[in-house]
């Protein structure tokens, strides 16, 4: 853990957090001590009001509260109001699943389904299925909700609570390190999610203001664009995948890409007018911004099935390497980044990246001459293998043949 970074936690000390874990898991769940469960629930509710509560702790409180309300209703009356209890269980489970899916998506970036994100963070698919059922079909049956709630509390224990004392001794220094690291990681996830929301808000506001200026034939001052770029760079720089998250948000459909299906030359010209200056400013303020941006853009060519997205993404990459303003800005970085873009295409072989590679080689050879001959040979051999595999797979598809798309995945490309 970086000793220079500090986070405010809603609990006063590590002992208070460990006490709540003991109340929930050792006394309430293991020994069926209802009073211990109620005490833990009150602690978590108080932490909620203080703010900055990790999602794992918040979810534990919501699931626990649903169980306690169920027990209370069962003790209070012979006929339990199943609708009210089912609603409490459903709400707790939906918050639990959605929150962890959002945290997972903040690491892997937008574009993944909730089921894919759940798989990445080892969240059982049954929880996602329950959320889907509750969202689209109505509240699940009573028995399923109670079973899922118990399973969710168990998953939270192994995912979060158990990791607070890997060393076993609550007074040991290694426990303090483990606890601090766990809190640090959780706060990093929450910070990443919050930062992504702020990035989306800044980009949305910037796009709107630029469109208004375009309609009114106005021009944003360079200082305003510089300020926006500074805001974005400051938001993402402290995060482990911050620049990748910024790139993924920019590449989302409807941001730097035209939202209409055509992505015509005129629409791309408008997109350049809106975004070019901001991207250039971010490239100057953060030298590491462009690599994640190029990587994200090219990898989306491999994933997206929309022709308009292919056209828009390719246009942006070619624009960055052929536009005189960009070439002047990149200066000595122009050729290394061109190599990086071509090599990234080789790691994501497809019809789109093949075409992009050929066009990038033409662009780069104009300024670099024969310096890109090695890249041309590598591209030719890679896509020759790719075309050969496509033909092989088309012949074996009826026999259950499988197309391994990423020929160079994990290979070192120099």
Q: Per-residue pLDDT tens for 177-229?
A: 444 444 445 455 555 666 778 888 889 899 888 888 877 777 767 788 999 99
Same domain, 154 and 235: no
pLDDT on residue 264:
81
Query: Looking at residue 241, what is its pLDDT?
Result: 82
**Same domain (yes/no): 147, 208:** no
Q: For residue 356, what are the contacts with CB-CB under 8 A and spacing of at least 6?
A: 298, 301, 314, 317, 318, 345
List the domain range (segments joined by +) for residue 322: 191-399
Q: Model confidence at 82, in pLDDT bands (50, 70, 90)?
A: confident
Domain count along the chain: 2
Residues 395-406 have a mean pLDDT of 43
Residue 151 is predicted with a pLDDT of 95
Query: Are 395 and 349 contained in the same domain?
Result: yes
| Same domain (yes/no): 263, 387 | yes
Is the same domain home to 88 and 195?
no
Pair 53, 137 in one domain: yes
Hey, which of 7-11, 401-405, 409-413 has the most confident mean pLDDT?
7-11
Residue 171 domain flag = no
Question: Would you say residue 177 lies in a domain?
Answer: no
CATH number at residue 250: 1.25.40
Same domain, 128 and 248: no
In whole numbers, what is the pLDDT of the chain averaged over residues?
Answer: 79
Q: What is the pLDDT of residues 259-311, one digit of tens each?
A: 765 668 888 998 999 999 999 999 999 989 999 999 999 988 866 555 667 88
State whether 154 and 263 are in the same domain: no
Q: Please provide the DSSP assignment of 90-142 as one string.
A: HHHHHHHHHHHHHHHHHHH-TT--HHHHHHHTT--HHHHHHHHHHHHT-PPPH
**156 confidence band (pLDDT: 50, 70, 90):** very high
Domain assignment of residue 40, yes or no: yes
pTM as predicted: 0.51
Distance between CA 386 and CA 379 in Å, rounded? 10
- Same domain membership, residue 200 and residue 161: no
Helix (H) or strand (E) holding 1: none
Same-domain pairing of 320 and 211? yes
Q: For residue 323, is it within any domain?
A: yes
- For residue 170, is it within any domain? no
Three-state secondary-structure class, residue 257: strand
Residues 281 and 347 reside in one and the same domain: yes
């Amino acid at each position: 853990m970086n000793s220079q970074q500090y986070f405010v936690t809603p609990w006063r000390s590590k002992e208070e957090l460990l006490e709540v874990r003991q109340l929930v898991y050792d006394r309430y769940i293991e020994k069926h001590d209802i009073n211990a469960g109620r005490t833990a629930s009150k602690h978590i509710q108080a932490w909620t009001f203080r703010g900055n509560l990790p999602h794992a702790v918040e979810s534990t409180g919501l699931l626990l509260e649903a169980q306690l309300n169920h027990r209370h209703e069962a003790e209070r009356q012979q006929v339990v109001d199943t609708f009210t209890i089912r609603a409490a269980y459903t709400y707790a489970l939906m918050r639990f699943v959605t929150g962890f899916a959002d945290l997972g998506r903040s690491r892997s970036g937008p574009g993944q389904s909730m089921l894919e994100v759940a798989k990445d963070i080892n969240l059982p698919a049954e929880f996602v299925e329950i959320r889907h059922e509750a969202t689209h079909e109505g509240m699940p049956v009573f028995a399923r909700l109670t079973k899922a709630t118990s399973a969710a509390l168990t998953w939270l224990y192994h995912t979060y609570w158990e990791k607070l004392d890997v060393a076993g001794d609550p007074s040991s220094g290694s426990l303090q390190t483990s606890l601090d690291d766990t809190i640090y990681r959780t706060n990093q996830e929450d910070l990443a999610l919050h930062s992504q929301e702020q990035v989306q808000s800044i980009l949305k506001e910037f796009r709107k203001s630029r469109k208004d200026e375009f309609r009114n034939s106005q021009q944003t001052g360079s200082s305003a664009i510089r300020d926006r770029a500074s805001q974005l760079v400051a938001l993402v720089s402290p995060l482990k995948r911050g620049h990748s998250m910024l790139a993924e948000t920019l590449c989302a459909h409807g941001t730097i890409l035209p939202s209409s299906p055509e992505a015509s030359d005129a629409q791309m010209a408008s997109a350049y007018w809106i975004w070019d200056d901001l991207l250039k400013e971010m490239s100057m303020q953060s030298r590491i911004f462009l690599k994640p941006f190029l990587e994200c853009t090219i990898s989306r060519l491999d994933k997206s099935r929309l022709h308009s997205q292919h056209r828009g993404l390719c246009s942006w990459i070619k624009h960055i390497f052929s536009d005189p303003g960009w070439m002047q800005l990149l200066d000595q970085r122009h050729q290394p980044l061109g190599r990086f873009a071509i090599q990234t295409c080789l790691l994501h072989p497809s019809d789109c990246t093949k075409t992009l590679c050929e066009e990038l080689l033409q662009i780069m050879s104009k300024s670099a001459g024969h310096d890109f001959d090695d890249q041309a040979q590598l591209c030719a051999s890679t896509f020759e293998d790719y075309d050969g595999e496509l033909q092989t797979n088309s012949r074996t598809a009826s026999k259950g043949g499988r197309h391994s798309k990423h020929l160079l995945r994990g290979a070192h490309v120099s």
